[in-house]
Structures are given as C-alpha cells and as structure tokens.
Structure 1
Amino acid sequence: MKISNFKIATISLLILLSSCSSDSPSKPDSVVVPPVVVPPIVETDVLTTTNVRTYMVDANATNETVALFYNLKKLGKTKFAIGQQDALNYFYNNVSGTTDIKKSTGFDPVILGSDFERITAKENDGTEGNWWYGEQKKIITDTKEAYSKGMINIFCWHVREPFNEKSFYANDLSATEKATAFKSILPGGSNHDWYKAKLDKIAAVVSSLKGANGELIPIIFRPFHEFDGNWFWWGASYCSPDDYKTAFKFTVDYLKNTKGIHNILYSFSPDNSYTNESSYLSRYPGDTYVDVLGMDNYGDLASGKGQTGSNLANSKLKYLSDYAKTKVKIAAMTETGWQVTSTTSPISGWFSNLLYNTLTANDIQISFVMFWNNGNYKDTGSAKSNYYVPVPGTSNIDDFKEFALKPKAALLNTIPNMYVLPQ
C-alpha cells in the first residue's frame, strides 16, 4: 500500500516524541528550590577584659575602677541594679537600722547615692564638733561600708553658688548672679580659684576612701547634673553649651591629671527635657570625658502620665542606651522616683508596671536605676513619713517587691563581685 510523504513524516514525528518521552523523566509541575539558611546575627561584644581601659575616661584608673566599669557595662546586658540616695542614712519615719530596701525585700540595694554638698560647704571647717564635718565623716563611713558589702558608690554635687555659698537653687540668686555665676568659675573667671579649691576638697576626700586592704574605693561622680533644667545655677538658661562643656572638661582634667585621682568614673546626667539623641548630646563634653550616660527623670513618671509617660521615658532612655552601645559606655537612670507624702498617694503599679517597662522595653540596656532618699534630714514632723521607696506597712510595698524581684532587676544578692575582672 502506498503511503503518502505527509503520513510518513507524521508517523516519524510521533515515534521521535514517544522515544524522547520514554527516555527522559517527567518534568515536575514546579521546581523545588532548597531553602536558604541565613545564619543568626550574633552581636559582637567589643568590650573585653584586656581592652576595657581604651573605652574609659581614665586610662590610668585603678584596677577596681576598671573592673567596676567593665562589670557595670556587662550587667546592663541582662539586668539593672537598684539603688537609693542616702540608703544608709535616711529612712521612712526616720527609723534607723538597715536600708529601707532591705526592710522591704530582704536584700540591700546595689547602689548607694551620696552628695559632695556638705563636704564642700563653707560651714565645714574640718573640726570635731562641727555639724558639717560630722556629715562628711558620716558620708565617708557610709561609702566604706557600702564598698565592704559589695555595693557601688555614686556621688552627685549640689554645689552652692560662688558668691555667697548659700544655695544651689537659681531662684535664690539675683538676676546678675544668675547671669554670671557659671562663667565666673571657668578658667580665667573671677571665681575659678574658688572652684579649684572646692575640687581640692573633693580630691582629698576621694583619695582617702580606702578598702580593708588599702585599695582606693571607686566612685561614680556626676557633676552639674540636671543641667538642662533651670532650677540649679548651672542650668541651661545660665550657661551656654560651650561653657558647660568647658566646665565639665576642666573638672575631669583637674581631678584626673592635676590632682592624680584615678578612682572615679564620670557621669553625664541631664534631666528629661530632651526629645532626641541630638538634643541629649547638645552639651555632651565628648566620649573621652564620660563613662556613664545618665538621665534623671521624675516628670515623665508623675501622676496622671500612666503608660504614655512610661513609654516616653523609655524612648528617652533608648537614645542614650543606643549611644552607649555604640560608644561602649554605661547607660543608667541616675535618678527617679514618685514621692509619697501625707497628701500624695502612691501610683498603682508605678514600680512593677510603669517603671519596669521604662527600664526594659525596646531592647534597652540600662545598668542601674537610683531612687531619691526617704525621710530627708531637713524634714520635720509628718514630713519624715515621706518616702520614695516603700517599706513594710505602706500601701505600695507589694508593688515595689514585685518590681525588685523581677527577672531583670538586681539587688545586692544577685550581682557578681563588681570590683574584680572575670577570668
């Protein structure tokens, strides 16, 4: 039978297609691409026990001071230490004994706050029987006791104005004094020698702070704190940013280089007025002059501010925490609190909810928080019942205990030896 050329071509093509189909595996409906495994990002910690001095203000700091810087920085990665101003001296209802924080929790605070104000007061004549000199001795004793317990000492300085030395509040000065006080203490100013004499007194006291083995006790010093407000004579309305930086740098250089004091970490501690990193750093003297980046903040956590205020305070800590991560500095909330009085009630959840959120949200790394003192010595009568840290019998004691025992909070029983570098 005769087959047309068209049919022959068609049959040949079918045979070829059939052959190809039988010799090749079936093509899947879709191609399976193996997943790309992205290794987790590991944050490299540049701070080591061998390079720690390169990130500090004082490259010649004592070994204990170096260890304090290192251990505080490391602590902030997982916990924040709890402290209080005058914890060993002023108490709720003026009752003496152990710290009010220990009365509440069973454990002492990590941080003891003190003040150079009475030490440098003009009334302090250095003689026995003088009340101001007695206060100086008490502060020295407390500092040594705190160190012997493993606590950390931090000093502010409510330095009095240089004209009459009566007050550190700007409202107690005349308009002319407000305008000239800060400039007068700068190099070349009419009160510069006066200021150096005050620093000499601080240097003498700091160099006398020694532990049981004769080692110098490290302290954190935060000069001219809350400078962005206008309540102190060194406030923002009374000195320019450059003036402030000059005074801060001179203070550090004079204590470190001229007086040879090497057991101080230096803290930069504005109040809470800033709204971004740039405004926080507007009076910053530079990384070579600051070990601790701090913030004092009472206002954002005041009554009526609630969660909004807590979040705002956290966002402000976030600026300095991020900067501290980048520059390898310590970040801290250097003062805070809500004072309960006979006419001011506690804020529900202030410690365990609002403050804890402020100190921990948004991956911030805060090394410590310090509350202001209970029962100040100037208080009289019912005012001695004022407190920032509650004690047993007060209505917000459970709130504080819950805060202090949370996973990221640290009291003295949960911290390592802060004055020895880990092996």
Structure 2
Amino acid sequence: MAEEGTIMKSKPVDDDLNAKTRALFDALHRATGEFAMFGHQNETSNVIGEHTDSDVHAVTGSYPAVWGNDLGGVELDRNRNLDGFGAEAIRNEMLRAFNMGAVNTLSWHSANPLTLGGYGHNMAEGTVKAVLPGGEAHEKFLGWLDRIAAALTTVTDTNGEPIPIVFRPFHEHTGDWFWWCTGSPARPTDTTPEQFVELWRMTIEYLRDVKHVHNVLYAYSPDRSRIDMSTPESLETGYLYAYPGDDYVDVLGFDDYWDIAPAEKSAEDPQARHADLIAMLTLVGRLGKERGKLAAATEVGSPGIFADSYVCDSHDLAIIGANDDTAAEDGSALSDSPWTKYLLAAALANEYARRALWYLPWRNDPDAAGTGAYGTPVAGSRYADDFRRFVRHDFMRLADALPPLYR
C-alpha cells in the first residue's frame, strides 16, 4: 500500500499501446472523478423488449457508454461463445460500440484446460498448476492464448488498427467457481495466491510480449461476496488477495452481486448492503488514486431486482439515498427508485467512490430473473423512469454524452 497521501503516476501495463488505446487510457484518467459511465453486457445480443435492438436505447434514447462481451469458447476454436453468440455478431457489436465512441470490455469464461468443463463444471484440482510452465497443460494453454490474442486484435478501425479493449481475464478469482479461483484468505481453494499471480503475469506477458497485442488495458476484478468487510484492514487484504502487482494491472475493478442482489443472497438489510457497496467503491477509488490506476464496478447486479426483494414491512427503504443530489422528483423510496436512491447514491457517496469510472450490469436474460444478474429495465416497466433519471443524471454518461475518448 502506498503511504497516506502518496499518489503514483499513471502508467499503462503496455508501454507500446497503439495510439487509440493510449488515447483511451489518458482520457479515462482525465475523466476520473468527473463522471461515470453506464455499461451493459451483451447490449444488442440479449434484448427483452419488442421492436428494439437495445433495451437501454428503448428506455433512454441512447446506448451504453461501456459494452461488455465474453470470449468464452474462443479458446476451443468454436464459432460461438459459451452464451451462444456468434463470433461475427460479437465483432460487429464491438465495432459498433467503438464507432459511437463507447468503450469495449471483454471477460473470458474459459473452459477448464484439464476437463473442458464450462459453467457449473469448471473446477478441477490442480488446474492452475497444470497450465503454468512445466505443467501438463501448459502448451495447450498457450495455444488457447494464441486464439485469445487473435480475438483481441481481429476488430479493427478504418486504418486497420485493432480497436481498444478493456480485457478482464480471470475475473472473480476470490470465489470458488472457476478453475483459476483462489478463494479468499478464510476459504482458500487448492490454487495458491502465488500460482494465480504467476498465471496472470504469464498471460499478460504472453499476449503483450510474444503475440504483440498492444490494444488492451487489463482489469483486475475480484468477487465482492468473499471479501471480509468487518474492518478496513480485512477489506483491503481481501481485495488484494492474489493481486498480480501494479505493473500488470490497469483497472482496479470488482464484481458485486452481493450488495445489489435479491434478499436470499444475504441475511443483512439493505442499509448494510448499501454501506458495504460504498465501502467497496471507496476502496477501489482510493487504491486507484494511490497506485495510479483506473477504478470501476466491473459487474453489478440489478438495483431493480434488489429493491423487489426488500419490498416488505421489515425494512424502511426510504432511509437509503437521503442525498438530495439523487432524490427522485416524487420523493419516492428505494422500492420505487432503486437506480437513483441506491446505485447513484453510492456512486456519489464520497470523492473516492466518484472515481469509479463505470458500472456494468449483466445481460438482459429473462432466464436470469430472480438471480440478481438481470440487467436493465425494459420500456414501460416499473423502474424505467428511475433508470432514465439515473443514466441522465449530470454525473452519469451514456454513449451520446461521452467526450471523445480515442483522440
């Protein structure tokens, strides 16, 4: 940890970033604290509403400022990712986002290198050790990285240069559901922090130095649910568990379906959840300032579903979001205004929380309703008006309100 008051100069992981990616890096640092961007996973691939290619556009009149997609399946040389979306469709969506001035971010839900198991069958003891140098699956994994490198550079601008991407490999490593997961200090898996760090560094060095991928910013995103929030020290220790090092990370993110999720995810009340969300935002904002890193809420649950789960007599939902800056015009409670009174109130909570540059709910998948993963309201739905107030707040940005990020 940097000494109190120390601010490190921002420096990208890759000194040889192409011009537009370096421009994005610099623009995001300039934007830090000035505004936050609304993001969405599979923006035009998963649409619930009728007669639209985008649920966000149908409600707000604009598209997200950050577009998320996933590379899972690419490592197996499949022409569709693990969610069933074709490679060409993903490329087209990424190019569309770039052309409107938005930011592209990619996660990688890879198969297990030993078992090839996907969602729900991704863990196998010894997997990380097997893909590291000297391991039985090391050469196979390098072959997978060859395909990832190709996917990262295949979408190009009019000059033939690969477009900028925020790449988020090995996300949620503090959980116990992916083959790369370390777990937490209190609930470790068989993967040690040292092995995870070696995996991360090996991957970045291979992509950057061997495959010459120079259009990527790298995001670190542990899962919030396994972080001990009991003290400031345990919070920071849990967040930085198996941290790969400042030389290998551009963005300090976190994935949070615990503090913005249905009641069954936690026995605690919404006031406690809100305080913990603010604590997470404050932490990544402070660490970002101290370490010269960007900060983001790289995945978040749906405030609407969160509010639905607490509409009962046992909670006074109106006490959250007392900040006048986030109050709904009708003075409504959280149960009516979860986007403004819960999420926006957290984003504006303090100077460090305001450094989080984007918030990305997961895709609008009807099968995910009730899981906390469902993303945004559709036109005419209960929370559509509040969502519109949220994204049109002076601090938030959709694609149509972004400054130029690539020049």
Counterpart of 1:269 (choices 206, 221, 224) is 221
Question: 1:396 maps to what in 2?
Answer: 383
Q: TM-score, normalised by structure 1?
A: 0.78
The CA distance in 2 between the partners of 1:366 and 1:150, in whole Å, is: 19
Question: 2:246 maps to what in 1?
Answer: 287
Question: 2:106 maps to what in 1?
Answer: 155
The CA distance in 2 between the partners of 1:238 and 1:85, in whole Å, is: 31
Aligned with 1:69: secondary structure? helix
Aligned with 1:117: secondary structure? coil
Q: Is the contact made by 1:352 and 1:400 (CA closer than 8 Å) also made in structure 2?
A: yes
The CA distance in 1 between the partners of 2:84 and 2:389, in whole Å, is: 39
Question: 1:67 maps to what in 2?
Answer: 23
- The 5-angstrom pairing of residues 165-184 of structure 1 reads 165-169=116-120, 172=121, 178-184=124-130
The answer on 1:244 being equivalent to 2:199 is: no
Counterpart of 2:281 (choices 317, 320, 323) is 317
Question: 1:228 maps to what in 2?
Answer: 174
Between the aligned residues of both structures, percent identity stands at: 30
Q: Is the contact made by 1:90 and 1:96 (CA closer than 8 Å) also made in structure 2?
A: no
How much does 1:282 deviate?
A: 2.0
Counterpart of 1:90 (choices 29, 46, 52) is 46
Q: Alpha-carbon deviations, 1:337-366, whole Å to 9, x = none?
A: 22878xx66954321111112222121211
The answer on 1:78 being equivalent to 2:24 is: no
Question: 1:368 maps to what in 2?
Answer: 358
The CA distance in 2 between the partners of 1:88 and 1:133, in whole Å, is: 14
The CA distance in 2 between the partners of 1:132 and 1:369, in whole Å, is: 21
Name the CA shift for 1:278/1:45 in 2 (closer, same or farther; >3 Å): closer
Question: 1:33 maps to what in 2?
Answer: none
The CA distance in 2 between the partners of 1:134 and 1:333, in whole Å, is: 24
Question: 2:345 maps to what in 1?
Answer: 357
Could you tell me which runs of 5 or more consecutive residues in structure 2 were left unpaired when the two chains were aligned. Answer: 184-188, 230-234, 264-268, 312-334
Greater alpha carbon shift after TM alignment, 227-236 vs 263-272 = 227-236
Question: 1:107 maps to what in 2?
Answer: 62
Counterpart of 2:76 (choices 121, 130, 134) is 121
How much does 1:375 deviate?
A: 2.2
The CA distance in 2 between the partners of 1:56 and 1:253, in whole Å, is: 13
Q: Is the contact made by 1:92 and 1:387 (CA closer than 8 Å) also made in structure 2?
A: no
Question: 1:335 maps to what in 2?
Answer: 299
Counterpart of 1:406 (choices 373, 393, 401) is 393
Counterpart of 1:307 (choices 266, 271, 277) is 271
Higher helix share: 1
Name the amino acid aligned to 2:110: V
Q: Is the contact made by 1:225 and 1:271 (CA closer than 8 Å) also made in structure 2?
A: yes
How much does 1:391 deviate?
A: 1.6
Could you tell me which runs of 5 or more consecutive residues in structure 1 were left unpaired when the two chains were aligned. Answer: 1-42
Q: How many residues align?
A: 355
Q: Give the structure with higher Rg (CA).
A: 1
How much does 1:160 deviate?
A: 0.8
Q: Is the contact made by 1:306 and 1:354 (CA closer than 8 Å) also made in structure 2?
A: no
Q: TM-score, normalised by structure 2?
A: 0.81
Name the amino acid aligned to 2:218: Y
How much does 1:186 deviate?
A: 1.2
The CA distance in 2 between the partners of 1:208 and 1:317, in whole Å, is: 33
The CA distance in 2 between the partners of 1:209 and 1:165, in whole Å, is: 27
The answer on 1:207 being equivalent to 2:153 is: yes
Name the CA shift for 1:114/1:125 in 2 (closer, same or farther; >3 Å): closer
Question: 2:327 maps to what in 1?
Answer: none
Q: Alpha-carbon deviations, 1:194-241, whole Å to 9, x = none?
A: 111111001112222101232220101111101111122222213111
CA RMSD of aligned residues (A): 2.7
Name the CA shift for 1:181/1:148 in 2 (closer, same or farther; >3 Å): same
